[in-house]
Protein backbone atom coordinates (compact mmCIF):
# COMPACT_ATOMS: atom_id res chain seq x y z
CA UNK A 1 0.00 0.00 0.00
CA UNK A 2 1.18 3.52 -0.75
CA UNK A 3 1.86 6.19 1.85
CA UNK A 4 -1.21 7.79 3.46
CA UNK A 5 -0.17 11.28 2.36
CA UNK A 6 -1.12 10.60 -1.28
CA UNK A 7 2.38 10.26 -2.70
CA UNK A 8 4.14 13.08 -0.85
CA UNK A 9 6.92 10.67 0.02
CA UNK A 10 9.57 10.03 -2.60
CA UNK A 11 9.82 13.57 -4.02
CA UNK A 12 6.24 13.88 -5.39
CA UNK A 13 4.87 17.46 -5.27
CA UNK A 14 2.27 18.36 -2.67
CA UNK A 15 -1.10 19.25 -4.19
CA UNK A 16 -1.62 22.31 -2.01
CA UNK A 17 1.75 23.81 -2.98
CA UNK A 18 0.90 23.96 -6.68
CA UNK A 19 -1.98 26.38 -6.06
CA UNK A 20 0.25 29.24 -4.92
CA UNK A 21 0.89 30.87 -8.27
CA UNK A 22 0.39 34.58 -7.41
CA UNK A 23 3.63 36.56 -6.93
CA UNK A 24 4.21 37.99 -3.50
CA UNK A 25 4.29 41.59 -4.68
CA UNK A 26 0.70 41.25 -5.94
CA UNK A 27 -0.47 40.66 -2.37
CA UNK A 28 1.46 43.69 -1.16
CA UNK A 29 0.08 45.90 -3.92
CA UNK A 30 -3.47 44.74 -3.12
CA UNK A 31 -3.02 45.67 0.53
CA UNK A 32 -1.82 49.16 -0.38
CA UNK A 33 -4.70 49.61 -2.81
CA UNK A 34 -7.11 48.45 -0.10
CA UNK A 35 -5.95 51.40 2.06
CA UNK A 36 -6.69 53.87 -0.73
CA UNK A 37 -10.09 52.31 -1.54
CA UNK A 38 -11.24 51.99 2.07
CA UNK A 39 -10.10 55.52 2.95
CA UNK A 40 -12.05 56.92 0.01
CA UNK A 41 -15.19 54.89 0.70
CA UNK A 42 -15.13 55.80 4.38
CA UNK A 43 -16.10 59.34 3.37
CA UNK A 44 -19.36 58.10 1.87
CA UNK A 45 -20.63 55.81 4.66
CA UNK A 46 -21.68 56.29 8.23
CA UNK A 47 -19.20 55.09 10.81
CA UNK A 48 -16.31 54.76 8.40
CA UNK A 49 -13.69 54.45 11.12
CA UNK A 50 -13.58 50.68 10.66
CA UNK A 51 -12.81 51.10 6.97
CA UNK A 52 -9.91 53.47 7.65
CA UNK A 53 -8.54 51.23 10.41
CA UNK A 54 -8.73 48.12 8.25
CA UNK A 55 -6.96 49.88 5.36
CA UNK A 56 -4.20 51.15 7.67
CA UNK A 57 -3.75 47.65 9.11
CA UNK A 58 -3.32 46.02 5.70
CA UNK A 59 -1.00 48.76 4.42
CA UNK A 60 1.18 48.50 7.53
CA UNK A 61 1.54 44.75 7.04
CA UNK A 62 2.54 45.32 3.41
CA UNK A 63 5.19 47.91 4.28
CA UNK A 64 6.78 45.71 6.96
CA UNK A 65 6.92 42.55 4.80
CA UNK A 66 10.08 41.13 3.30
CA UNK A 67 9.00 41.70 -0.28
CA UNK A 68 9.55 43.99 -3.27
CA UNK A 69 7.19 46.67 -1.89
CA UNK A 70 8.31 46.44 1.73
CA UNK A 71 9.95 49.47 3.34
CA UNK A 72 11.00 47.97 6.68
CA UNK A 73 11.50 44.31 5.90
CA UNK A 74 11.16 42.78 9.33
CA UNK A 75 8.48 40.18 8.56
CA UNK A 76 9.16 37.09 6.50
CA UNK A 77 6.92 36.28 3.58
CA UNK A 78 5.39 33.20 5.14
CA UNK A 79 4.64 35.04 8.36
CA UNK A 80 3.22 37.97 6.42
CA UNK A 81 0.75 35.72 4.61
CA UNK A 82 -0.37 34.27 7.94
CA UNK A 83 -0.77 37.73 9.48
CA UNK A 84 -2.79 39.01 6.53
CA UNK A 85 -5.09 36.00 6.76
CA UNK A 86 -5.62 36.62 10.50
CA UNK A 87 -6.19 40.33 9.91
CA UNK A 88 -8.76 39.56 7.20
CA UNK A 89 -10.71 37.33 9.57
CA UNK A 90 -10.60 39.96 12.32
CA UNK A 91 -11.78 42.71 9.96
CA UNK A 92 -14.58 40.50 8.63
CA UNK A 93 -15.83 39.83 12.19
CA UNK A 94 -15.36 43.41 13.40
CA UNK A 95 -18.89 44.61 12.39
CA UNK A 96 -20.39 42.42 15.12
CA UNK A 97 -19.03 44.97 17.62
CA UNK A 98 -21.61 47.80 17.86
CA UNK A 99 -19.00 50.43 18.69
CA UNK A 100 -17.18 50.08 15.34
CA UNK A 101 -20.08 48.91 13.20
CA UNK A 102 -20.62 51.03 10.06
CA UNK A 103 -23.83 51.21 8.08
CA UNK A 104 -24.90 48.46 5.70
CA UNK A 105 -22.87 49.85 2.80
CA UNK A 106 -19.74 50.04 4.94
CA UNK A 107 -20.27 46.47 6.15
CA UNK A 108 -20.53 45.22 2.57
CA UNK A 109 -17.31 47.03 1.60
CA UNK A 110 -15.42 45.68 4.62
CA UNK A 111 -16.59 42.14 4.03
CA UNK A 112 -15.68 42.21 0.33
CA UNK A 113 -12.16 43.50 1.03
CA UNK A 114 -11.56 41.07 3.89
CA UNK A 115 -12.78 38.01 1.99
CA UNK A 116 -10.82 39.05 -1.12
CA UNK A 117 -7.54 39.40 0.77
CA UNK A 118 -8.17 36.15 2.65
CA UNK A 119 -8.61 34.34 -0.65
CA UNK A 120 -5.52 36.00 -2.09
CA UNK A 121 -3.37 34.76 0.77
CA UNK A 122 -4.20 31.17 -0.20
CA UNK A 123 -2.89 31.80 -3.73
CA UNK A 124 0.23 33.84 -2.95
CA UNK A 125 3.61 32.19 -3.30
CA UNK A 126 6.06 32.76 -0.46
CA UNK A 127 9.12 31.64 -2.40
CA UNK A 128 11.96 34.16 -2.44
CA UNK A 129 13.68 35.48 -5.59
CA UNK A 130 15.88 33.03 -7.45
CA UNK A 131 19.56 33.60 -6.75
CA UNK A 132 21.55 34.72 -9.74
CA UNK A 133 24.06 32.22 -10.98
CA UNK A 134 27.58 33.29 -10.11
CA UNK A 135 30.50 33.40 -12.46
CA UNK A 136 31.89 30.17 -11.10
CA UNK A 137 28.67 28.14 -11.15
CA UNK A 138 29.07 26.94 -14.72
CA UNK A 139 31.36 24.20 -15.91
CA UNK A 140 35.03 25.06 -15.63
CA UNK A 141 37.11 24.43 -18.71
CA UNK A 142 40.73 23.65 -18.09
CA UNK A 143 42.67 25.72 -20.61
CA UNK A 144 46.09 24.59 -19.45
CA UNK A 145 48.11 22.95 -22.17
CA UNK A 146 51.49 21.26 -22.17
CA UNK A 147 54.19 23.28 -23.88
CA UNK A 148 56.31 21.10 -26.11
CA UNK A 149 59.85 22.37 -26.71
CA UNK A 150 60.95 21.56 -30.28
CA UNK A 151 64.05 19.42 -30.38
CA UNK A 152 67.05 20.71 -32.40
CA UNK A 153 67.50 19.20 -35.87
CA UNK A 154 69.63 16.12 -35.87
CA UNK A 155 72.70 16.12 -38.15
CA UNK A 156 72.45 13.76 -41.12
CA UNK A 157 74.20 10.42 -40.80
CA UNK A 158 77.77 10.13 -42.09
CA UNK A 159 76.78 7.62 -44.79
CA UNK A 160 74.15 9.95 -46.23
CA UNK A 161 76.67 12.80 -46.35
CA UNK A 162 79.23 10.65 -48.14
CA UNK A 163 76.65 9.53 -50.74
CA UNK A 164 75.61 13.14 -51.35
CA UNK A 165 79.22 14.17 -51.94
CA UNK A 166 79.77 11.33 -54.42
CA UNK A 167 76.57 12.25 -56.29
CA UNK A 168 77.73 15.87 -56.50
CA UNK A 169 81.12 14.91 -57.89
CA UNK A 170 79.55 12.62 -60.50
CA UNK A 171 77.17 15.36 -61.62
CA UNK A 172 80.03 17.85 -61.97
CA UNK A 173 82.11 15.36 -63.99
CA UNK A 174 79.19 14.65 -66.34
CA UNK A 175 78.63 18.36 -66.92
CA UNK A 176 82.35 18.90 -67.69
CA UNK A 177 82.45 16.00 -70.16
CA UNK A 178 79.31 17.28 -71.88
CA UNK A 179 80.90 20.71 -72.27
CA UNK A 180 84.10 19.21 -73.76
CA UNK A 181 82.40 16.98 -76.37
CA UNK A 182 79.62 19.37 -77.32
CA UNK A 183 81.36 20.98 -80.40
CA UNK A 184 82.23 17.59 -81.94
CA UNK A 185 78.68 16.33 -81.37
CA UNK A 186 77.18 19.42 -82.99
CA UNK A 187 79.47 19.08 -86.07
CA UNK A 188 78.54 15.43 -86.42
CA UNK A 189 74.84 16.28 -86.30
CA UNK A 190 75.27 18.99 -88.96
CA UNK A 191 77.13 16.61 -91.30
CA UNK A 192 74.40 14.01 -90.89
CA UNK A 193 71.70 16.56 -91.74
CA UNK A 194 73.55 17.70 -94.91
CA UNK A 195 74.09 14.12 -96.04
CA UNK A 196 70.39 13.36 -95.55
CA UNK A 197 69.53 16.42 -97.62
CA UNK A 198 71.77 15.34 -100.54
CA UNK A 199 70.29 11.85 -100.55
CA UNK A 200 66.76 13.26 -100.59
CA UNK A 201 67.65 15.49 -103.58
CA UNK A 202 69.05 12.59 -105.57
CA UNK A 203 65.98 10.49 -104.89
CA UNK A 204 63.70 13.29 -106.05
CA UNK A 205 65.67 13.71 -109.32
CA UNK A 206 65.43 10.02 -110.16
CA UNK A 207 61.67 9.86 -109.64
CA UNK A 208 60.86 13.04 -111.65
CA UNK A 209 59.09 12.23 -114.97
CA UNK A 210 60.91 13.28 -118.21
CA UNK A 211 59.80 16.54 -119.73
CA UNK A 212 58.28 17.03 -123.23
CA UNK A 213 60.69 16.94 -126.21
CA UNK A 214 61.84 20.24 -127.55
CA UNK A 215 59.82 21.58 -130.43
- The H-assigned helical ranges of 22-157 are 24-41, 49-63, 77-93, 104-121
Q: What is the average pLDDT value for the chain, to the nearest integer?
A: 76
Question: Which band of pLDDT confidence, cut at 50, 70 and 90, is reported for residue 151?
Answer: low
Average pLDDT over residues 44-67: 94
Question: CA-to-CA distance for 96 and 38, rounded, in angstroms?
Answer: 19
Average pLDDT over residues 113-140: 76
Domain ranges of the chain: 16-121
In this model, does residue 156 exceed pLDDT 60?
A: no
pTM for this predicted structure: 0.53
In this model, does residue 57 exceed pLDDT 80?
A: yes
What is the CB-side half-sphere exposure of residue 136 using CA atoms within 13 A?
A: 0
Residue partners of 9: CB distance under 8 A and separation at least 6: 3
Question: Which band of pLDDT confidence, cut at 50, 70 and 90, is reported for residue 6?
Answer: very low
What's the longest Cα–Cα distance across the chain? Answer: 171
Between 172 and 141, whose confidence is greater? 172
60-105 pLDDT tens trace: 999 999 999 999 999 999 999 999 999 999 999 999 999 999 999 9
Burial class (CB in 10 A: 0-12, 13-18, 19+), 38: buried
Per-residue confidence (pLDDT) for residue 133, from 0 to 100 = 53
Between 179 and 16, whose confidence is greater? 179
Amino acid sequence: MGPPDGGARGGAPVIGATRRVVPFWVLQATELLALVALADLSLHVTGGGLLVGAGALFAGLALFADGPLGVVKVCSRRLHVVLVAIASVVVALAPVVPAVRPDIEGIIVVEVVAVGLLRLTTLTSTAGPRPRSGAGSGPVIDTAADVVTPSPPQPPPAAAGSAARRAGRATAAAAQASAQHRPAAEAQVKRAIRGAGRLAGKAATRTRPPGPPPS
